Amino acid sequence: MYLSRLIAAIWHSDRLSHPQRGMWPPELYRELHGEAVQRTLMEICQKIDDYNRDYSVLAWVNYRLKKRFIDVVRDYQKKGITYSPRSQRDLAVSMPSIDDLDAYFAVEDSVSDAQLLQQFIDDDPEHLFRSAHVKNRPEVTFQALAKARLVEQQTWEEIASECQISVQTLCSFFNRRLRKLIPYFQKYLQS
């Protein structure tokens, strides 16, 4: 697929322009530039027919990149972040690396809205969790499976063994039901 090469080429190119580089702290600039490159890529893919062969690909890309960079800066500033050369806290969104993730999510072990979710599954105001069940097994309801996963933290093998139903059947049933029940979750839990 030709676009794959184009995307790879642009992303790996060391001849992409770097507008306003001196005006931003390096960490922040990297994110702004990355976002701009991404928007430019999408734009190029959608407007590939506009490309005029008389101009070089790179010139065309850089022209668009400069405009997208301005858009990114504007969107970023709308979020009310002030420029400070010394601080990484300026980043509106955190950018942990893979190695940072364990520490980054360590706080999760004491925070949870799983309580709300558990309550909702028990309450099941419209009886949708209770009424959905594996074919020919009315006791193996979506509600029972959801609780096994959420509260008991059981693996699919454990549940399959307890219910005497194959993992395949359980996962397939659960995937399909969950897909249809997402609006139900959103209706009652969206905050």
Partner 1 sequence: MIQDRHADPNSEYDSQLPITPTVPLAFEARAIAERCSRGRGNGQQAKRTYLNVLAVWASEFYLRCLGFSIDRDRTLSYSRFAGYFLDTADLWVESVGRLECRPLMPEARVASLPLDVRSDRLAYLIVELAPSLHSATLRGFSPTPAATLAIDELRPIETLPGYLAQWRVSAPISLSAWLSGGAIAGWEALENLLGNRAQLVPLRSQPAVAAGIGRAKLLDIGLQLSDRSVVLAIAVVRQSDDTASVRVQLFPSPDEASVPESLELSMLDESGETLQVVRSRQQDNYIQLRSFQGRCGDRFSLEVAWGEARVRESFVF
Question: Interface residues for partner 1 in 89-128 (CB under 8 A)?
Answer: 92-99, 101-102, 104-109, 111-114, 117
- The nearer residue to partner 1, 56 or 136, going by C-beta atoms, is 56
For partner 1, the binding residue among 71, 126, 157, 158 (CB under 8 A) is 157
- The nearer residue to partner 1, 113 or 139, going by C-beta atoms, is 113
- The nearer residue to partner 1, 57 or 137, going by C-beta atoms, is 57
> Is 180 among the residues that bind partner 1 (CB under 8 A)?
yes
For partner 1, the binding residue among 3, 23, 70, 81 (CB under 8 A) is 3
For partner 1, the binding residue among 77, 123, 172, 187 (CB under 8 A) is 172
Amino acid at 24: W
> Is 63 among the residues that bind partner 1 (CB under 8 A)?
no
Backbone dihedral region for residue 56 (phi beyond 0: left; psi -120 to 50: alpha; all else: beta): beta
> Is 73 among the residues that bind partner 1 (CB under 8 A)?
no
For partner 1, the binding residue among 21, 23, 50, 55 (CB under 8 A) is 55
